Structure 1
């Protein structure tokens, strides 16, 4: 069966947590976590299409228009979605009390883990939304202290009490309380063993809180003050997985919406989680019976879409498009399909494969293709894949004999930039992979690179044209590499949030998937999924993308600082069952560590991957290696977070910290980190040279300031007492001593300008 791995993002407002993992050509600096620009289209509930900027890049064994009869992808291939992510990076952030710049401000975790009852509630109320927002990233060790069921029930009851007297604003900090609950559900979803189970008691408390809030007439105030609490409350419906119970609230929000009054006040953002409630309901047993009992929710959706057709092409057009997604999703139920056909047909007739309404048309075309394809002529969508491709992918360019670009809107300069980046990556890849040519039976000698004009264009057009799920940051369609004439391609898009700079999101990450699949991994993607290999597949793509472009992986460094994962744990990563952080940042760290510290093991594992010996590779990782490197990996993470992953050359072997409490003592094959001295002073070192040693090499690098390296075999080294020195303009110094005398020898780093954060390595 064709398989598509997806990361189902829960909310357009989630760009703060689900930040992109790899930049694109050129290597111009862009924010590590781009926020949504103020004039970006408003997102709504994620459906089969996810919001910008989407995370990561998938690899699949599907090919477009599968003539071989293999199963086509549909939303049924998706896994149930995770809880919603934190409230950051929103347009009009002031409406949510986040200030002009919605920067995440960390809390003191102990302020929450160390409190219970009313003390905990008062603490949550005392902080701002940015602080609570940072708790979505709480570590496993603190997760239970903050979010165990008793804590959550206490906060839910506090929301209920505040809701009874809600005044239409956040004066009682009800938004912070609701966001805290949202964070708890999020953390518990990814760490159920650490947090513990959530039971019926908590769900009942959540219901009481939401019932009280929505029963309060002030929850309908069309004001900026009401926007944040209302949005949080609508989000909590999804958090407690109670879509059926709150269908009347969803209907109310859709019916009450008025673009003239809701949009300026930020009330529009409450529609995002309302549509998420509809999306999530499809995985809840009581949802379909509730919709069948009251199908007017479908009429309300259609009416909402119809009266807001004028929003297409504007700031809030995406909201209408996502509403079409949620309406047409109900076409999958045979008992509802007859009543939905006229609605879907009308929406198709109101839209075209190009121009402002093409997203609406694309949503209908996809739904028809998935659930009523035999009647596509009724809707007029039978030829839509070809029509969408002809109308939109109009630019074709040859980068090299093996790379062809097909694009929606690239000009000559942009095409040249993209080609230069792609063409230059091959040599870098092969130097790292150390392959000996394509794996057996791989005929994927050319690659087609398809570039859409924006993330939304990718999400809609790629889904229609190539019949894939696009709830991701790009897709490599490997096809069946053993078949003659197979055409692999990867799909990506321009990073519209980076404009006027030009970037193609995940360009180098996706191209790595192509090269890796051709030279490192036997067969198609599905073939390799008999054992967990995603630590390598996604981790290596992240590693090559960042290293080739010389871009620091800030997200991975942050994860390293939290010591979030053991190496042996990362070897078990499965894309469909793991968080995006574990897949991408964790994968990057595992791959980088193994390349730097255990290259021979990497070569052994790759030999198995290249032969399709999945069980053999798994045995190497889990039995031969097992937990043997976990302790060393933990120490490596410390050095990575302290600067080694920002200043070192990725993949360059790293030495362990020198042993012993005397920080002046060096040894064979070790490093002293974070060395510092003020101007005119010294950092002294000594080492014991065994008899017969042929060479000593001492190297300094990194940090700030300027230190010069001195060597003296007979005593402490000074500027007026040395045999040789290295005195460059910074801290990059090296001294190599041939045939040193046996016994103690001495080195020093003299501060021409006060320095700090310098690492000193010794090898002999």
Structure 2
């Protein structure tokens, strides 16, 4: 349902969120309070800039809960590929390939040798250190190393000439990496104290005191961006309120944008968003409240950016202004500014995101005065203005969407309705659990992840720091309406709804496998099953390889008995989703009877009984076998599209129409009413020829003709199901060329065609 500048890779037709560092789209979960931001380099541009911050891909079987304001978003220029976005230009990186570092070059050096190594490394190299292993983390980023680098950055700042000639960007990015790694590995890196705080302030103070830091030039963009981002990493927002005011006030869209410097001011919003979690921040704003004036002036002055790739900065400014409404003492000062910005915006069009963020703040922080702002009815008005598509897939499934057309609705409906049978074949349930009246599901699809973050937060009052959310409500209450919220994946090459099948599994799992509502199932740890099963069904139903899970399997990070203890609040995204998938798949494949016993307890709401089976009856009994299974999984056993199904190689040759023995042609597409044609040479004496299709979007029917191209009016046999899962088996086929065609009843894409004989 969750990279925040989370880097998520879309896999398959309706891919679940693979990884945050995670949220989202980006390839994006909620950043823990105080997490140092990694404003990612160009590889992640256009994703949500808290990218490497480990968040959850979805919210599980959630009840509605208070939603914090969305994190700031990164500006981008629509239509440009990621590495041509403004941040890449500002950093001077262009489209250079990533160059991982030799970690020992850093862990084996100290003092001036370490500083020189950093200065001689490129930005991509240092970027790879964000993923440094725990065994190397202390040698690279212990406090004494960081202090050395911080004072080197101070020296570079004192002699700063308005460009990166002194490698100040590399030094500051190394510091960002250290803060990031230490946050997640404090037990091995050690704590950071006053000596590093003093050294980091010395570096940043020197940079901003240097008049060249105010240059409006492309050369200054990268270093200024790095310095402002580092403020957020140090969690020192209170000290740098004057810098934030300066940057917000100095920004001039015409000159700064021409110099590629918009990215340099945007980190201000990230630092402000995390300020409330830092000691002394509230008192500092009380002493110097001018930052609120600067935010209002920025949003008011730059309204011409709305509707452009940089319009997210206006949204960010409005969001951060609204965040200050959590402090009652600031409300008298804020009310006129917030009301003025609301008066200039509407529930649709380019200004609706700004209004959505501000209206949320009003309704959560100053609701008794919502009439003063004209925002009392905004949730209903936003829903009416933006969720106008209503489509019934079946008596049990309804789609409400922001922008889906008839073809896309048909594709989504087919995927959902066909999943029912697959789910029940895996779950082996005997019907709904007791007291569950959730007989229908409402699927709400937003147009983009940005729409989801802003509009879903206001309309449905949920957390949107994730990749989607299932709101179960109380299934025992008559008239309860469960729904899940998701969004179109605009990073995919073809139509795709992010987490569609994962979220639908939550609905089915809650109805047929887990008694009661979400809170009922949280009495004892159950998240390993809730998310692991949703991942397992989503991947296996779509016949998509879970590459992310296979990758972590090779690391042997957890024992099976440890995974039974997984809970959202204390677990990384990898543990919740990828390791959850591995644990569930292992139990279903290798110990089905044990899993059936656990499910019987889950279905009855006997959480203690289920826990006893997992932690006492099973206990550590399967840990060694699970470890061996992980080795096989990483070696290829889990690379089958579905458990137990071998993966065939791509057919050779450049003619995509040519099939051969035991191979596959991937990513086949055709528009409605057209064909994808294939031919195959059959050797003399072949007993059986099987051609099958699967995956992708739309609906293609498979036709066979032994003598010439196959058409709907010229064929011997066909397979015409409701989707792309078609198979034709020909016994004793004639020797020589035979022909198959995939006819597009509904335009299809991403289909795999396999031939076996």
In 2 relative to 1, CA 592–150 (structure 1 residues): closer, same or farther, beyond 3 Å? farther
Whether 2:59 is the aligned partner of 1:58: answer yes
User: 1:158: Cα distance to partner?
Assistant: 2.1
Aligned mates of 2:41, 2:233 — CA distance in 1:
27
CA deviations 1:588-646 (Å, max 9, x no partner) are 22222333333333223222222222233333333343444344333333333333332
Pick from 227, 232, 236 the counterpart of residue 238 of structure 1: 232
In 2 relative to 1, CA 653–550 (structure 1 residues): closer, same or farther, beyond 3 Å? closer
Is the partner of 2:239 in helix, strand or coil?
coil
Q: Which residue of 2 aligns with 1:598?
A: 591
Instruction: Within 5 Å, give how 1:380-419 maps onto structure 2.
Output: 380-419=374-413
CA deviations 1:409-452 (Å, max 9, x no partner) are 11110100100111111122222222222122111111000111
Q: Which residue of 1 aligns with 2:582?
A: 589
Pick from 521, 525, 544 the counterpart of residue 537 of structure 2: 544
Whether 2:638 is the aligned partner of 1:645: answer yes
Aligned mates of 1:53, 1:502 — CA distance in 2:
27
| Structure-2-length-normalised TM-score | 0.77
After alignment, is 346-355 or 185-194 more displaced? 185-194
In 2 relative to 1, CA 504–653 (structure 1 residues): closer, same or farther, beyond 3 Å? closer
User: 1:20: Cα distance to partner?
Assistant: 5.0
Contact 1:139–1:562 at 8 Å: present in 2 too? no
Pick from 382, 398, 415 the counterpart of residue 421 of structure 1: 415
Is the partner of 2:360 in helix, strand or coil?
helix
Q: Which residue of 2 aligns with 1:336?
A: 330
Contact 1:40–1:315 at 8 Å: present in 2 too? no
Q: Which residue of 2 aligns with 1:139?
A: 133
Q: Which residue of 2 aligns with 1:620?
A: 613
Whether 2:439 is the aligned partner of 1:445: answer yes
In 2 relative to 1, CA 262–618 (structure 1 residues): closer, same or farther, beyond 3 Å? farther
CA deviations 1:567-596 (Å, max 9, x no partner) are 333333221332223222222222223333
Pick from 551, 574, 580 the counterpart of residue 573 of structure 2: 580
Contact 1:168–1:225 at 8 Å: present in 2 too? yes
Whether 2:357 is the aligned partner of 1:363: answer yes
In 2 relative to 1, CA 193–351 (structure 1 residues): closer, same or farther, beyond 3 Å? same
Pick from 100, 108, 115 the counterpart of residue 106 of structure 1: 100
Q: Which residue of 2 aligns with 1:657?
A: none
User: 1:267: Cα distance to partner?
Assistant: 1.7
Contact 2:549–2:581 at 8 Å: present in 1 too? yes
Aligned mates of 1:313, 1:53 — CA distance in 2:
30
Aligned mates of 1:74, 1:154 — CA distance in 2:
40
Aligned mates of 1:108, 1:424 — CA distance in 2:
48
Whether 2:261 is the aligned partner of 1:267: answer yes
Instruction: Within 5 Å, give how 1:721-736 maps onto structure 2.
Output: none
In 2 relative to 1, CA 475–247 (structure 1 residues): closer, same or farther, beyond 3 Å? same
Whether 2:296 is the aligned partner of 1:309: answer no
User: 1:729: Cα distance to partner?
Assistant: 12
Aligned mates of 1:396, 1:37 — CA distance in 2:
40
Instruction: Within 5 Å, give how 1:671-710 maps onto structure 2.
Output: none
Is the partner of 2:631 in helix, strand or coil?
helix
Q: Which residue of 2 aligns with 1:168?
A: 162
Q: Which residue of 2 aligns with 1:562?
A: 555
User: 1:331: Cα distance to partner?
Assistant: 0.9
User: 1:336: Cα distance to partner?
Assistant: 0.4
Q: Which residue of 1 aligns with 2:122?
A: 128
Is the partner of 1:642 in helix, strand or coil?
helix
Aligned mates of 1:135, 1:149 — CA distance in 2:
16
In 2 relative to 1, CA 593–202 (structure 1 residues): closer, same or farther, beyond 3 Å? farther
In 2 relative to 1, CA 52–206 (structure 1 residues): closer, same or farther, beyond 3 Å? closer
Instruction: Within 5 Å, give how 1:315-326 maps onto structure 2.
Output: 315-326=309-320
Q: Which residue of 2 aligns with 1:151?
A: 145
Aligned mates of 1:97, 1:629 — CA distance in 2:
50
CA deviations 1:84-139 (Å, max 9, x no partner) are xxxx9782353254634365432222332333333322222232211221222222
In 2 relative to 1, CA 538–361 (structure 1 residues): closer, same or farther, beyond 3 Å? same
Aligned mates of 1:32, 1:728 — CA distance in 2:
42
Aligned mates of 1:116, 1:41 — CA distance in 2:
32
Contact 1:21–1:56 at 8 Å: present in 2 too? no
User: 1:200: Cα distance to partner?
Assistant: 2.1
User: 1:560: Cα distance to partner?
Assistant: 2.5
Whether 2:8 is the aligned partner of 1:19: answer yes
In 2 relative to 1, CA 397–279 (structure 1 residues): closer, same or farther, beyond 3 Å? same
Whether 2:172 is the aligned partner of 1:183: answer no
Whether 2:354 is the aligned partner of 1:353: answer no
Contact 1:25–1:508 at 8 Å: present in 2 too? yes
After alignment, is 153-162 or 382-391 more displaced? 153-162
Q: Which residue of 1 aligns with 2:209?
A: 215
CA deviations 1:695-748 (Å, max 9, x no partner) are xxxxxx999xxxxxxxxxxxxxxxxxxxxxx99999xxxxxxxxxxxxxxxxxx
Pick from 558, 564, 567 the counterpart of residue 571 of structure 1: 564
Q: Which residue of 2 aligns with 1:278?
A: 272
Q: Which residue of 1 aligns with 2:250?
A: 256
User: 1:178: Cα distance to partner?
Assistant: 1.7
Is the partner of 1:552 in helix, strand or coil?
coil
In 2 relative to 1, CA 362–559 (structure 1 residues): closer, same or farther, beyond 3 Å? same
Instruction: Within 5 Å, give how 1:493-512 maps onto structure 2.
Output: 493-498=487-492, 501-512=494-505
User: 1:226: Cα distance to partner?
Assistant: 2.1
Is the partner of 2:99 in helix, strand or coil?
coil
Is the partner of 2:318 in helix, strand or coil?
helix
Aligned mates of 2:570, 2:15 — CA distance in 1:
32
Contact 1:597–1:653 at 8 Å: present in 2 too? no
| Structure-1-length-normalised TM-score | 0.76
Contact 2:153–2:171 at 8 Å: present in 1 too? yes
After alignment, is 504-513 or 592-601 more displaced? 592-601
Pick from 475, 479, 490 the counterpart of residue 481 of structure 1: 475
Q: Which residue of 2 aligns with 1:379?
A: 373
After alignment, is 191-200 or 449-458 more displaced? 191-200
Aligned mates of 1:368, 1:148 — CA distance in 2:
43
Is the partner of 1:483 in helix, strand or coil?
coil
User: 1:41: Cα distance to partner?
Assistant: 10
Contact 1:253–1:271 at 8 Å: present in 2 too? yes
User: 1:375: Cα distance to partner?
Assistant: 1.0
Contact 2:545–2:641 at 8 Å: present in 1 too? no
Instruction: Within 5 Å, give how 1:735-746 maps onto structure 2.
Output: none
Is the partner of 1:75 in helix, strand or coil?
coil
Contact 2:216–2:255 at 8 Å: present in 1 too? yes
User: 1:216: Cα distance to partner?
Assistant: 1.7
In 2 relative to 1, CA 127–642 (structure 1 residues): closer, same or farther, beyond 3 Å? farther
Pick from 435, 438, 457 the counterpart of residue 463 of structure 1: 457
Q: Which residue of 1 aligns with 2:37?
A: none
CA deviations 1:645-702 (Å, max 9, x no partner) are 32x2544499xxxxxxxxxxxxxxxxxx9xxxxxxxxxxxxxxxxxxxxxxxxxxx99
Aligned mates of 1:569, 1:270 — CA distance in 2:
43
Contact 2:323–2:361 at 8 Å: present in 1 too? yes
Whether 2:66 is the aligned partner of 1:73: answer yes
Is the partner of 1:493 in helix, strand or coil?
strand
Is the partner of 1:58 in helix, strand or coil?
coil
CA deviations 1:167-195 (Å, max 9, x no partner) are 22222322222222222222222222232
Q: Which residue of 2 aligns with 1:714?
A: none
Contact 1:482–1:523 at 8 Å: present in 2 too? yes
Is the partner of 1:282 in helix, strand or coil?
helix
User: 1:461: Cα distance to partner?
Assistant: 1.4
